[in-house]
A and B are shown apart, each in its own frame.
Chain A
Amino acid sequence: MGVYSTIGKNLDEVRDSLFQGKSGIGFEAIRKEFGYRSGLTGIIDPPNLKGLLDRRSRIGLAEQGKYAYLSTLEALDNANIDQEYLEKIEAGILFGNDSSSVPVIEAIDLVREKKDTSMLGSGSIFQSMNSTISMNLSVIFKLRGINFTVSGACASGSHAIGIGYFLIRHGLQECVITGGGQEINPESMGSFDGLSAFSTLESEPTKASKPFDRDRDGLVPSGGAATVILESYDSAIKRGATILGEVVGYGFSSNGDHISVPNVDGPVKAIEMALKDSGMKVKDIAYINAHATSTPVGDEKEAQAIYKVFRDVRPYVSSTKSMTGHEMWMGGASEVIYSLLMMHNGFIAPNINFENPDEHSAKLNITPKTVEKSFNIFMSNAFGFGGTNSTLIIKEI
């Protein structure tokens, strides 16, 4: 696995941030000048890939593609997979991504000005398409297996892992590079801000994202990229790989309801399906990495859904979005990595800024502080617009 995020540019930095409860959120005045209600955003260092990648490979990568290249490099290194092995086993890629705004906007601005599409250059199309990450990385890493992008709103990264797991379980692929990428720029999030979905607690940016807290007032947009390498058990054993965890359950559902207002039954269905798929009982789940984004309605519905399934079992619950902000298309994948880091380092990361519960979150075992605890099974939820829901269960081997 590998990650490039607002709380660290690699696994070690991210592990430390998670343990320390360190926030990656800040304030950008440019967003206010641009017309945003909220200037809050995840803050990330823009990567420079010159020297790492040749020109042809670089110019097709949009912002989130650059993050994804770096997270995938780290993931392959972490999995001890080299280029020769990738080509030998016909590896595939399924990446979560649901927008690529800046290249589209820049291209349209240029064509409007020049009245000539030939002035766009060759990289624009490969940056603009929604499949930008999977199409670029599949070429860069010479992949010959499955190759497409999963667009499932804020559950994209989670669904990508889920579908990859199905392909491997059914013997259709030996190795799939999965994950999620998310652009962070004012151009991509204006319409979201326009829905009043973002927190406006601008005076203390690191305290603005407060999932499950009574005083939460909205999410903080964020991003980066996360890569999870899925591989068949036999293949991993054969090459002597260090197995970080086994995907044992994937549940999905669609609310069949409102386009932006979540409900309880949809998430419940995904959670129960994942449990059934894994053969686990609720008491087996030690930790739930919640989707909770810090929106008033979303967190309430998820708290109700978790309670409806788990009742008095009360596994530890935290939303790492309290630190990262909402990583959207990437979040479902990055949060699996965050949880794996916790599982391998014997702690549960805090749901920072959780000071006062509301009626529903009071029924859950939400931890505002880091808990040093060894555990071997966790659940990760990811939900999105359109009522798409994804739940993964992962077990230490």
Chain B
Amino acid sequence: MIVLFGVFLLSLMVITALAIVRTQHLFVAVILTGIFSLLMAANFFLLDAADVALTEAAIGAGISTVLFLSALALTGEHESVRSSNRILALSVVAVTTLIVIYATFDKPRFGDPLAPVHQHVSPWYLETTPEAIDIPNVVTAVLASFRGYDTLGEVFVVFTAGIGVLFLFGARPPRNSGSPGTRAAEQGLGLRHYLIPRVVGRLLIPFILLFGFYVQFHGDYGPGGGFQAGAIIAAAVILYALLEGEAQALRVIPHKLLIGLMAGGALLYGGVGVASLLLGGNFLDYSVLAADPVAGQHRGILLIEAGVGITVTGVLLSVFHAFAGRRRR
């Protein structure tokens, strides 16, 4: 039954991907990429990867769609027709596809317990987590503690991406000058005239924020963690910006605070590593953070997940404001 569902979802994904390639209308393409991500999330969930599914749904289907749309607002809605060599591109794609299909013949069967990936470190993670870290969600244990270096790298990748976007758009905060008339026009941005979306949106924002914090702090026990929570909290603030206008959202969380969040989260993560060095352990070895090693692990994971969440929120909001604020200059 699960295989049937998987085949169904994967075929839908192929159809969506073809539609994305075929369409000339970029708005349609963006919405289709959102649908693609949602299908991907359902697929991950089918494979019991709830954490990845949550990330894909929050970031792929949610935030990136909004970011793409705000980028589209700066450019055109239609793809420019290029008269490049299509035969060459098509043959490259065809050859790559054939190679990838050929490579899948060597893969183990779906769900095979003897697959190499289940023989290497996975059993060790599953055995060690209950005694060494003692949290139910092994994914969080692997992500935050066993593979803390990798996650540190990911946080710095996110941080670097945020810096890159801010540099591309000119890192200075949006200008506050301008005649009173344009100020009033700025304040009128957003969905202020649309009663129903505004009322419902304002009703939902606190609950979205609450859910974001639940995902953040419940990550040790269920699917979730800093990446997902950061995306959900950023989504709540972006919803506020869409309802009340981007300038109003920038008044609630000013530009400087966003920059601080971006750097602060990555700094917190690195700081936990340095603190564990100073307390006599290895870099990112949380066992020394408390008298009891297991309690130390809990404290370390809580702190670095908070660091991840803070950085992701800051970067996503900064990127959103970089796109949305560009229009007003």
- B partners with A: no
